Every structure is written in structure tokens, then in C-alpha cells.
Structure 1
């Protein structure tokens, strides 16, 4: 099961398909980011990684 690379929370396969980067990493999830800002937070964290 996929998990958030930032907080370690498990996420659904569907969430991972939508929000994971090209390497399958998820840099923000609903547990560590507001729903409205998941995509933006993921982009920012990916740039910093």
C-alpha cells in the first residue's frame, strides 16, 4: 500500500495514481496537508527533495 513520504500515512492506490510524482513518491497527503493545497504542497516538497 502506498504511503506519504512526508508523514508516513497510508494512502489509497487511487490517491497515489493522482498525486504521486513520476517516481511514485507522494510528498503530501490528506493527513499532512489541507485538501485544497495537496497538489501545491506536493510540488513544493518535491522541489525541495
Structure 2
């Protein structure tokens, strides 16, 4: 079951398939980021990880 690495919330398999990095880590989800900015927040958190 995939989870957001930032807040620990469950995310769907489809969400993880779209927004996870090549290692399967999800850095942002609808619970901890604005829906419109998930991809941008995820990129920024990946750079800072």
C-alpha cells in the first residue's frame, strides 16, 4: 500500500504510478499539498531530500 513519504497518508496505486519517483517514493499528496501544485511540490521535495 503506497503512502506519502512527507505526511504518511495512504495514496492510491494510480496516484503513486503518476507522482512517485523512479524508486516509488511519493513526496506530496492531496493531504499535504494543494492539488494544483502536487507535481511542483513533489519536484521541490525531491531536490531537498
**TM-score > 0.5, shorter chain as reference:** yes
Q: Report the TM-score, using the length of structure 2 for normalisation.
A: 0.99
SS in 1 for 2:23: coil
Q: Is residue 46 from structure 1 mapped to residue 46 from structure 2 by the alignment?
A: yes
Q: Distance in 2 between matches of 1:46 and 1:39?
A: 10
- Deviations along 1:14-40, one digit per CA (max 9) or x if unpaired, are 000000000000000000000000000
SS in 2 for 1:47: helix
Task: Give RMSD over aligned pairs.
Answer: 0.2
Gaps of 5+ in 1: none
Per-residue deviation at 1:45? 0.1
Number of aligned positions between the proteins: 49
Q: Report the TM-score, using the length of structure 1 for normalisation.
A: 0.99
